[in-house]
Amino acid sequence: MGLLSLGTPLEWEVSRKYNEHVRDNGVEQLIYIFKAAHGRNNDPLYWGDELEFMLVTNNHKDNKKEHYKLSVEADWILESLESTETPGIPNAHDQNVTYHPEYGRFMLEATPLSPYNSTKEYSKISYVEKNMELRRQLAEEKLSTKDYNHHEKVILLSIAVFPRMGCDNFINVPNQWDPLHKNKASQSLFLPDEIINRHVRFPTLTANIRTRRGEKVAMNVPMYKDIHTPLLDDSIENSARIQTFGKWFPKHDSEKAYKPGFIYMDAMGFGMGCSCLQVTFQAPNLEMGRYLYDSLNNFAPIMLSLTSASPFFKGWLSDQDVRWNVISGAVDDRTAEEKDSGKVPKSRYSVVDLYLGSGLNNKASYFDEKLNDTNVPINKKVYQRLLDNEIYPMDKHLARHFAHLFIRDPIVIFEERINQDNETETDHFENIQSTNWQSLRFKPPTQKATPDNKQVPGWRVEFRTMEIQLTSFENAAFSILIYLIVECLLTFPDIFNAYIPMSNVWQNMETAHKRDSTISPNIKFHWKTQFFNTNSYDSEKMTMKEIFNNPKSGIFPVVINRILKHKKIIDNDWKELKARTEDSDLTALYFYLLLVEKRSSGEIPTFAHYFRNFVLRHPEYKHDSKISESINDDLIDRYVSITNLDNENILKEYFGDSIGEYLYSKRENKI
């Protein structure tokens, strides 16, 4: 999660006087990066994924079973996983696994230590799932052996949202609303600051966003409307904690922000406490990195919809399926003047704003600057410096991209890092770059990434929209789908034109938030009418099923089949993989693609659809759109069952018969 410098973070009123210093020097660092790495070429397609887990418990210190809660007291796990001190448990690094902190104390990020190597045959593609599962297993083993205060049993879940986060009794910290703490960072009425990672960057980031904004963040998500759904989010009135805590943070501050018919959330933790699945790809060179970034742009909202896994927020059923706008609101540090005037139209967390466009030497020349048809402000001083510098002058499209990022202030500045060597350090640049959270991130390397130094990463693109899924099988399937799309793009850049107007991409991001946007025949997205050998930017409104299956521009017939045929894995169609039963890895690839097909066609439900209906059918549900502790317990039990692949009937209900049988048989063969 961003730049984790060591040192003394400055509060906003102190740090703001260094804002221009950070921007000025961040631009210089960026220029030196381009000077060093612009000539880098022929880098292999290395790639990797990031999984974000949540730590959940229902055990009291006396081994007495309680309701499920998020465990913030198990955050020792990160340091323990990176050590070699636990007898009988393999060291994570030796297993090509590593772990990282995230915003929440109840969160754990896990990645491969070394990237996947695309030069391996597709027959080895199942390594992705195996590595993902290993990350879960190593953490679970550590959690089961650690002897600490509460002796609680902690389970690891890859879920996008904990259903009751922000409700009473949702974390395992006694007296979390102790008035002595007063929630100094967030001032939230619902989330105690104890949920925030202990690293000083995170509470400082929380407080500085709130201070710069001039008020608490405010997210309003539409409620799912049922027979007895109240008009207002009554948690402000009914929460026991507010009766004792509200005298420090008067509830009228929140009453101004929440709206009838909406779930109200007032803290950064509601967004940055969500989990996701992200994948990053190394491009061969700078120009192909730009082309890859641009070409993946419209795939981002499509994959957000396809992976929909956020039907609940703060103990309520919501009328949307994804987390994206909640995170966007959670880090929205704009002042009222910036919002009202349109000076800064969007939050730091948003859909991509600009295509990077083509440089002079880019073979993929389909970009037209008219495609950037949206209102995107830029820092004119930064823009001019990037155009005019003598070290590495940029073209206008690339300069505009970075000049837009630099309209933002640095949010956390460390006192010890104010003065840096711009020719060798990048912290000032990363301070701006890493707090612009967009649907894609174009990731320049460091100044060490010279053409002859292949030991450090080159030009990369991060794909950021996907919602995390319950099983390693699903997370591998969606990651590998994007990998196949990327390989097709980089294999056929001279003839693959994925551009549509940026305004259409923005509209698609809004559409992806709609309930059942993946499976509803009435919800449509802008999608290309043709990808190959065309100078056209034409698009049509299509359902998700059409986006994946239409013969002219469907992801399966046009993209996946083309790259698999190019690799001589199939003759015509990906479903031929089903017959390759002699190769378990190609069988796995078949089932990954089958999952995507069945989800995109609506034949099997998304997580959001399945678990919303799970609540609606629950015998204790009162048709009031609320998730009680007992309903939440049953939700978590079902999450655990699917994660562990331990019930064939449930797997068939969730995945359909063929995938359910396949997954259950895989589990049986391992036992």
Q: Which residue has better confidence, 96 or 419?
A: 419
Contact between residue 447 and residue 428 where contact means Cβ atoms under 8 Å apart: no
Give the chain's domains with CATH numbers. Answer: 1-493 (3.30.590.50), 580-669 (1.10.8.960)
How far CA 86 is from CA of 91, 139, 270, 610, in Å, comes to 8, 12, 34, 39
Note the pLDDT tens digit of each residue in 344-374: 999 999 999 999 997 545 454 789 999 999 9
The conformational region for residue 406 under phi > 0 = left, psi -120 to 50 = alpha, else beta, is alpha
The label of the residue with tokens 């790639």 reads: 47
Cα dihedral 23, 24, 28, 31 sign: positive
What's the pLDDT tens digit per position in 302-316?
999 999 999 999 999
Query: Stretch 491-516: mean pLDDT, rounded?
Result: 97
- Residue 173 tokens read as 């910290």
User: 396-405 and 380-388 helices cross at what angle (nearest 10)?
Assistant: 140
Q: Is the pLDDT of residue 238 over 80?
A: no
Confidence bin at 149 (pLDDT 50/70/90): very low
Alpha helices (H) in 552-647, listed in sequence order? 561-566, 584-601, 607-616, 629-644
% of the chain surpassing 70 pLDDT: 91
Beta bridge partners of 9: 414
Torsion-angle region of 639 (φ positive above 0: left; ψ -120 to 50: alpha; else: beta): alpha
Q: Among 139-153, 242-256, 456-470, where is mean pLDDT lowest?
A: 242-256
> Could you report the per-residue pLDDT of 402-437, keeping only the tens digit for each?
999 999 999 999 999 999 999 999 999 999 999 999
Contact 96, 115 (CB under 8 A): no
pLDDT, tens digit, 9 for 90 and up, residues 104-131? 999 999 999 999 985 655 557 889 999 9
pLDDT of residue 488: 97
pLDDT at 589 over 90: yes
Least confident of 233-242, 334-343, 470-479, 530-539: 233-242
How does residue 202 score in pLDDT terms, banded at 50, 70 and 90? very high
608: enclosing H helix or E strand: helix 607-616
pLDDT for the residue 153? 85
φ/ψ of 69, rounded to 5, equals -140, 160
Distance CA 458, CA 450 (A): 9
- pLDDT of 585 over the 70 cut: yes
CA distance 413 to 23: 12
Mean pLDDT for 207-212 is: 97
Q: Report the DSSP beta bridge partners of residue 265.
A: 219
Q: Is 100 exposed, middle or buried (0-12, 13-18, 19+ CB in 10 A)?
A: middle
**Are residues 335 and 213 in contact, defined by beta-carbon separation less than 8 angstroms?**
yes
User: Which tokens in the block code for residue 286?
Assistant: 């700078």
Average pLDDT over the chain, rounded to an integer: 92
pLDDT band of 393, cuts 50, 70, 90 = very high
Contact at 8 Å (CB) between 357 and 397? yes
**Contact between residue 205 and residue 11 where contact means Cβ atoms under 8 Å apart:** no
Distance CA 671, CA 669 (A): 6
Q: Hey, what amino acid is at 118?
A: S
pLDDT for 648-659, tens place per residue?
A: 999 999 999 999
